[in-house]
Amino acid sequence: MTVRLVKHSASDADVVFAARVSTKGPESLPAGDLGPADLGLIRYLMRDRHGSPFEHATMTLYAEAPIFVIREWQRHRMASYNEESARYRKLKPTFYHPARERDLVQVGKPGAYTFKPGDEDQYDLVSFSTRHTCAVAWGLYETMLKQGVAREVARAVLPVNIYSSMYVTMNARSLMNFLSLRTGEESARFPSHPQREIEMCAEQVERIFADLMPVTYAAFQANGRVAP
């Protein structure tokens, strides 16, 4: 999985001036480094869930992930997406193959289950099945393209573990909502149990967020990872 920052207008100062406009008007624009009162304001906004000031910090990310992860990410409709199109270009033969440390066995019922490692036979089966299916599908895809079949038709044989790419633009409030659902942090007030593959993307998003907005990120952590 690959997630990287493309561009941003995201800083802790963005949250402060957006919040202070209600009492200071145009004088709310920052004049220098944040002071103790500004840091306290961010913590207050997070704690009391005054979320709109966090919407003024935005970032655009580039992500490469299997299609099944892309689709799960796009369920978060509070972001803007533009994705690579298999109608207009031939995809690359890059497929996701679960690593051996990826847990394979689901234990329990939907909504109340955990995962545990598979045994050697199960790992071998997953490895063989994944590689074999991808090789056959890619061969058929290439054959159809060579015979003049349109890309939008030929792509139908490709499995959802083939990689796609997209740009994602979201604000900090939406990003925190995404992280609260797609990371499995035990310290969270409302623990989530995401699929491991999208969590791998979310972990990279979290590192970007923590670097751009350290005060907001610390307040998010202190508030039990509850999005404002």
CATH architecture of residue range(s) 2-84+164-222: 2-Layer Sandwich (3.30)
DSSP state of 77: T
Over residues 69-114, the pLDDT tens digits come to 999 999 999 999 999 999 999 999 999 999 999 999 988 887 778 8
Question: What is the rounded distance in angstroms from the CA atom of residue 219 to the CA atom of residue 43?
Answer: 5
Instruction: State the DSSP H helix or E strand holding residue 113, giving kind and residue range, or none if neither.
Output: strand 112-116
Cite the active site residues: 182
Q: What is the pLDDT of residue 170?
A: 97
Q: Which residue has the tokens 């655009």?
A: 60
Start-to-end Cα distance in the chain = 28
Question: What is the rounded distance in angstroms from the CA atom of residue 185 to the CA atom of residue 192?
Answer: 7
> Hey, how many other C-beta atoms are within 10 angstroms of the C-beta on 201?
25
Q: What is the pLDDT of residue 76?
A: 94
Over residues 168-188, the pLDDT tens digits come to 999 999 999 999 999 999 889
Strand segments, DSSP code E, in the chain are: 2-9, 58-66, 80-83, 105-109, 112-116, 163-171
Strand partners, 163: 66
Name the residue ranges covered by the structural domains of the chain. Answer: 2-84+164-222, 105-157
Q: What is the pLDDT of residue 94?
A: 97
- The alpha carbon of residue 89 and the mean position of all alpha carbons in its chain are separated, in whole angstroms, by 24
Q: What is the pLDDT of residue 28?
A: 72
How many CA within 13 A on the CB side of residue 113?
Answer: 13
Can you list the residues of the chain whose pLDDT is less than 50?
Answer: none
